Structure 1
Amino acid sequence: MFASAATHDNGLARELSSARAQLASQERQIQELNHRIANSLQLAADMLVFEQLRSRDPLASAALEASRARLVAVGELHRYLYDHAGRATVELSPFLAGLCQAIAATTGLNCSIQADLTSVPGDMAQQLAIAINEFAINAAKHAYDGKPGGRLVVTCRRDGRELVLTVADQGKGLTDGLGRKGGLGMSIVAAIVRDLKGVLTVQGDAGAAFTIRAPLRAQPPVIDRSFQAWACE
């Protein structure tokens, strides 16, 4: 009886050890994939810079710059996932800090972040990053007329079961007929808000402030690896 129990325990330990090895292998593959995606997006962004320098059409140049900024925003997420391998969710505070640096580099804005440590799934973080980037492009172009140094403040907090994201500038506001609600960028934001099942509100008397309020989805379960030490005994 004891021999049978010992054999069963040994078999279970081998199965757990094999499962652990497979999980570790999958995590390494995902980490490498995020690394390659980030590098590929950076390469594509650099190629757009060359095309932008060659372009003599201001509209084409602006479109190339906007496309480059979008690639940088998505690349920042994959860079974060690579640096934080093994995490199923993204902590918004450090992620948005890195995104803010990328926005400052691509738009010339003085970007600052005020965020708590609300964790969200990776796909939601990507959507928020793209929305923030679109607001930044909008502010650089319309609020500050392309002049560097304009201030952009990104705040993100948890309100009950909802996430509240606000991106605000201190530019001209929305009362000068510039139509900042239109264009490709705001169409992208509207699609993101619909996908998040959220609501977008806009204030534009003193500068412009765009707020997205969206429900926080259930977090994926945390994998308990406490069995690993036991399985190795």
Structure 2
Amino acid sequence: MPKAGNHFLERLPLASDRPVLGVSVTLILVAGAFVLRWFADPFLPSGFPYVTFFPAVIVSSFLFGVRLGALSALLCGLLAWYYFIPEYRSFDVAGPGVLALLFYVFVVVTDIALVHWMQRANRNLARERELSRTLAETRELLFSELQHRVSNNLQVAAGLLSVQKRQVDDTTARAALDEAARRLALIGRISRQLYDAGGATRSMREFLEPLCADVVEASGRTGVRCSINVAEDAPLSPDAAIPLALIVAEAMANAIEHGFRDKEGGCIEVHLARHGADMVKVEVRDDGDGLPDGFRIEASDSLGLKIATMLASQLNGKFDLIREHGTTARLLLPA
């Protein structure tokens, strides 16, 4: 947002649509410069006929543009010539007076030209800024529309899989289609959260909080509570967002489906902390029934766990399940 001073400068020159006001203020400036010069005359040495008129010319040019600046320069030059250059109260001029007039013309022409060039550059800058703002708004709008359409398409794909499973009699195939639909629906729900149109990087906490709320809501289990415990936050790479979302969602879904199978509800805690100097640890802890004896993730035939392990490997990390006070799904990622 432009500062107030910049906003004022962008409006210069003023009163372009009210010429009477501009001329009136210019005449007041000229009159003020003349009165000030008149009263200062006894205290000034010879050779300073324009000392109070230069500011009037500059201010007039600055506020009202080239035309009224030129009018101010003409009036100030005539007043100084008539009253303060020998012969006084006459437009006759001798050698030193000619040099003073030439010097005055050179200075005011230079001042007016510089003010004009600066104002023109400032107007061009304001137009470029407005164009950039418009382009940024258009880009953000298109980006949001794209995200919206991608999310909708994923939701449609998930819905089609759900419809298709009704025509499948095999229980295993129906379960696979149901899982695929659930994952697509999850990606669709979180896709709007993954990226920022302005390119801003989000923290992992900002990402995990709505994700976990979505997973619990999608489960339909009103007795399940989820909390986020962040010991030390970390920025989230956009490339890691979807894999991280799927892994955390899979761990939470396993906790809800298996850990709380015989319970009305339970508590899930998503814990985020640093692990060593160069790793981030994300743990999904539940207070459910825990893992069966002798469980090893490598020997599991769960498609969801295989996907979580594969995605963690793609991120150069590691995913594992640990039995401690329920079940802990641990994901280690490079910081």
Query: Which residue matches 1:43?
Result: 156
Does residue 100 of structure 1 match 2:218? no
CA RMSD of aligned residues (A): 3.2
Q: Residues 79-118 of structure 1: matches in 2 within 5 Å?
A: 79-80=192-193, 86=198, 88-108=200-220, 110-116=224-230, 118=234
Residue identity matched to 2:227: I
State the alpha-carbon separation in 1 of the partners of residues 122 and 329 from structure 2. 58
Residue identity matched to 1:152: I
Query: Which of the residues 270, 273, 293 maps onto 1:176?
Result: 293
1:192 Cα deviation from its structure 2 partner: 2.4
Query: Which residue matches 1:219?
Result: none
Query: Which residue matches 1:122?
Result: 238
Structure 1 residues 119 and 105 mapped into 2: Cα distance closer, same or farther (>3 Å)? same
Contact 2:154 2:184 in 1 (8 A): yes
Query: Which of the residues 309, 318, 323 maps onto 1:190?
Result: 309
Query: Which of the residues 166, 170, 173 maps onto 1:60?
Result: 173
Residue identity matched to 1:24: E
Query: Which of the residues 130, 138, 154 maps onto 2:254?
Result: 138
State the alpha-carbon separation in 1 of the partners of residues 252 and 314 from structure 2. 20
* Stretches of structure 1 lacking an aligned partner (at least 5 in a row): 217-233
State the TM-score, normalized to the length of structure 2: 0.53
Query: Which residue matches 1:208?
Result: 327
Query: Which residue matches 2:280?
Result: 163
- Greater shift, 102-111 or 58-67, is seen at 102-111
1:42 Cα deviation from its structure 2 partner: 2.0
1:178 Cα deviation from its structure 2 partner: 5.3
1:130 Cα deviation from its structure 2 partner: 0.8
Structure 1 residues 198 and 215 mapped into 2: Cα distance closer, same or farther (>3 Å)? same
Query: Which residue matches 2:145?
Result: 32
Cα shift readout 1:49-79 (whole Å, capped 9, x = no counterpart): 3334454432122212211221122122223
Contact 1:156 1:165 in 2 (8 A): yes
| Higher share in helix | 2
Work out which of the two has the higher radius of gyration on C-alpha atoms and give 1 or 2: 2
User: In the comparison of the two structures, how many residue pairs are matched?
Assistant: 215
* % same residue: 29
State the alpha-carbon separation in 2 of the partners of residues 57 and 115 from structure 1. 41
Query: Which residue matches 1:149?
Result: 265
Query: Which residue matches 1:225?
Result: none
Larger RCO, structure (CA 8 Å, separation 6 or more): 1
| Higher share in strand | 1
Residue identity matched to 1:190: T
Contact 1:103 1:111 in 2 (8 A): no
1:189 Cα deviation from its structure 2 partner: 1.8
Residue identity matched to 2:215: I
1:17 Cα deviation from its structure 2 partner: 2.5
State the alpha-carbon separation in 2 of the partners of residues 65 and 101 from structure 1. 20
Cα shift readout 1:3-45 (whole Å, capped 9, x = no counterpart): 3333333333322322222122111111111112222222222
Structure 1 residues 157 and 76 mapped into 2: Cα distance closer, same or farther (>3 Å)? farther
Contact 1:81 1:87 in 2 (8 A): no
1:203 Cα deviation from its structure 2 partner: 1.7
State the alpha-carbon separation in 1 of the partners of residues 155 and 257 from structure 2. 23
Contact 2:278 2:334 in 1 (8 A): yes
Structure 1 residues 53 and 155 mapped into 2: Cα distance closer, same or farther (>3 Å)? farther
State the alpha-carbon separation in 2 of the partners of residues 34 and 148 from structure 1. 36
State the alpha-carbon separation in 2 of the partners of residues 111 and 33 from structure 1. 33
Query: Which residue matches 1:77?
Result: 190
State the alpha-carbon separation in 1 of the partners of residues 206 and 311 from structure 2. 22
- Greater shift, 152-161 or 188-197, is seen at 152-161
State the alpha-carbon separation in 1 of the partners of residues 183 and 144 from structure 2. 22
* Stretches of structure 2 lacking an aligned partner (at least 5 in a row): 1-112
